Structure 1
Amino acid sequence: MSLAKAVRAALEEIADPDRAPQMQAYMKSAMPFLGVHAAPRRAALKRVFADNRLPGAPEWRRAVLTLWREAEYREERYAAIELSGFRFYREWQTLYTVPMYEELVVSGAWWDLVDDVAVNRVGPLLAAFPDSMRPLMLEWAHDDDLWKRRTSILCQNSFKDRTDTALLYACIAPSLSDTDFFARKAIGWALREYAKISPREVIRYVEATGISGLSRREALKHLPLP
């Protein structure tokens, strides 16, 4: 049995069809759900991935994209993202994976798929390969695609004191005038994470920059009012 078939079988075995419509409605997803919650999904996928180890980086990337492209249910796309970060394949997180993650971001085009890729896949690549990834994130920050812009803004969310402040602000800048909810929310979330390390700097930036009310509220959510 192929890995993709094994994943589908495992998900179907623990699916709760009665919950599927509510999950789909909550996520506002055109793609239907099987009705599998996160904890049992992760446990089942961990077993499947452990039992179906892939021999090389090309096979791994191919398996991720097969799961993603052939997905009939949203949980299969969650599975593709989890496979992309599975512990067996950490050494294959190189610049060769960037086109794969770009496809997931552009075709995923919704926060539940894009944000995981942005923070937990693209972010580590930026940390590991800054000379190549920094200019790419700047390019994405100016892209017409909302989700590539969002990825560029969020990719440093786990960096803490390693945050490249100049890059963060440069990635935010092209989206400051964007009226889209997801662009504004991303700006606020990224600044809120950075505020855990540099609260005064975030307050200064918010006061000096014309960010939207939504972005401002998100950025200063856990800070005293300036």
Structure 2
Amino acid sequence: MDESRALVVAVRSGLAAAGDQRKAPEMQRYMRSELPFRGVASPERTALAKELFAAHPLPDETALRTAALTLWREAAYREERYLAIAMTGHRAYRAWQTPALLPLYEEMIVTGAWWDYVDELANRRIGPLLRGFPAELTPVMHAWATEEDRWKRRTSIICQLSFKEATDTALLTAAIEANLHDRDFFIRKGIGWALRQFARTEPGWVLAFVDAHPGLSPLSVREAVKHL
């Protein structure tokens, strides 16, 4: 059995052993998930991931992509997808975080199509790629801001949440303006979240932006100025 398959098998077995079927239905209801849950809460998943990723190291980027996509595409339980995402961010694989992994993350965003997957990918995978490879990723985020897929648009809006002074305000502006009149809750909430987070660093910029964009939804404005 190759390393990718061994890790996939270990993840499935580990989740099955750690699962709590008393918790699983409520977790599924809360997340409005078509996939069932094993009933493994976040702290237990984190501990399990640490153990399994150490016990089953992957030799190269191809093996990482294979293992992550196998877990993702063949998932029978939602936690399998959570661990697929966690696997891609494992510290041992930091050197492989290049634009070559963008198609993997794009597939997860589009097919995952829900906030629990997308927000983690936007902030902890796409964001670091944008920071590390701005020449390659900035045009992609501009393009995603006008995509039909709402989750790619949300990603373009919130991918800079942790950037602080390094925030590309031209990208942030373009992503928000491209979605200014979209009435989708997750888009409006994402706009407010992105502005609220940047307001911790540049409150004056955010206030001026809100004043200059009367088309912002009330939800976006409330979120943007929440701590100002």
- Report the TM-score, using the length of structure 1 for normalisation: 0.97
Q: Which residue of 1 aligns with 2:8?
A: 4
- Looking at structure 1, the residues matched to 190 and 58 of structure 2 have their Cα atoms a distance apart, in angstroms, of 35
Q: Which residue of 1 aligns with 2:211?
A: 207
Task: Report how far residue 186 of structure 1 moved.
Answer: 0.4
- Looking at structure 1, the residues matched to 226 and 85 of structure 2 have their Cα atoms a distance apart, in angstroms, of 29
Q: Retained in 2: the 8 A contact 1:175–1:183?
A: yes
Within the candidate set 88, 97, 103, 1:93 is matched to 97
Instruction: Give 1:214's aligned amino acid.
Output: L
- Looking at structure 1, the residues matched to 109 and 223 of structure 2 have their Cα atoms a distance apart, in angstroms, of 23
- Aligned pairs (5 A) from 1:61-210: 61-209=65-213, 210=215
- Looking at structure 2, the residues matched to 112 and 200 of structure 1 have their Cα atoms a distance apart, in angstroms, of 31
Q: Which runs of 4+ in 1 moved over 4 A?
A: none
- Looking at structure 2, the residues matched to 219 and 76 of structure 1 have their Cα atoms a distance apart, in angstroms, of 34
Aligned length: 223
Q: Which runs of 5+ in 1 are unaligned?
A: none
Corresponding position: 1:23 with 2:27: yes
Q: Retained in 2: the 8 A contact 1:10–1:45?
A: no
Task: Report how far residue 45 of structure 1 moved.
Answer: 1.0
Task: Report how far residue 200 of structure 1 moved.
Answer: 1.3
Within the candidate set 219, 222, 227, 1:217 is matched to 222
8-17 or 133-142: which moved more? 8-17
Q: Which runs of 5+ in 2 are unaligned?
A: none
Instruction: Give 2:226's aligned amino acid.
Output: K
Instruction: Give 1:217's aligned amino acid.
Output: R
Pairwise CA RMSD of aligned residues?
Answer: 0.8
- Looking at structure 2, the residues matched to 66 and 154 of structure 1 have their Cα atoms a distance apart, in angstroms, of 27
- Report the TM-score, using the length of structure 2 for normalisation: 0.96
Task: Report how far residue 30 of structure 1 moved.
Answer: 1.0
Corresponding position: 1:35 with 2:76: no
